[in-house]
Amino acid sequence: MLKPGDAAPDFVLKDQDGRDVRLSSFSGRPIVLFFYPKDNTPGCTIQAKGLRDHADDLAKHDAVIVGISLDPPESHLEWHESCHLGYTLLSDHEGRVHDLYDAWRTTLLGRSHFAVRRCTFIIDADGIIQAVHKNVNVFTHAKTVLKDLERLAAQKSWPRSHRKVEPPTPPTP
């Protein structure tokens, strides 16, 4: 799975309106990229509405929210409208982007089972992954994302030289 510090793989998928959307088109803004199992299911609806309900707080960080599932654009549109979601839902019906982001799990409740992993990637304005949540709690997801964005904003306020501490280079003989 991708980890903090990795460049976020770029991709193009159809949104809920059938339009092509490229992830890199959101560059310059933080991105909350979340993978979820299925539209119109109880857990996914709680997760999606949690992000919707925190839209004002997320907007303070100029964050773009993008949800991805295997569902077709038509399903996304129906769910988007019924839940009044104010953000983009993308259709990865072939699972290519799920593969890129390793958004699969192979066990569920101790049994062998191949399914979508509910996971989230926080990507900074430069396209670098800053946080990865592999096992998302649908009830606390929005607050977790908000904390990540607040941390990202705090790091951004530091001078560039203080953001990442590199180990000293050993002297060459």
CB neighbour list of residue 164: distance below 8 Å, 6 or more residues apart: none
158 contacts: CB under 8 Å, gap ≥ 6 = none
Structure tokens at 141: 């997801």
For this structure, is 44 an active site residue? yes
Q: Which helix (DSSP H) or strand (DSSP E) does residue 42 occupy?
A: helix 42-53
Do 123 and 11 meet the contact criterion of CB atoms below 8 Å apart? no
Q: Identity (one letter) of the amino acid at 88?
A: T
Q: Residue written as tokens 């809920």?
A: 16
Q: Spot the catalytic one: 21, 31, 44, 146.
A: 44
The residues assigned a catalytic role are 44
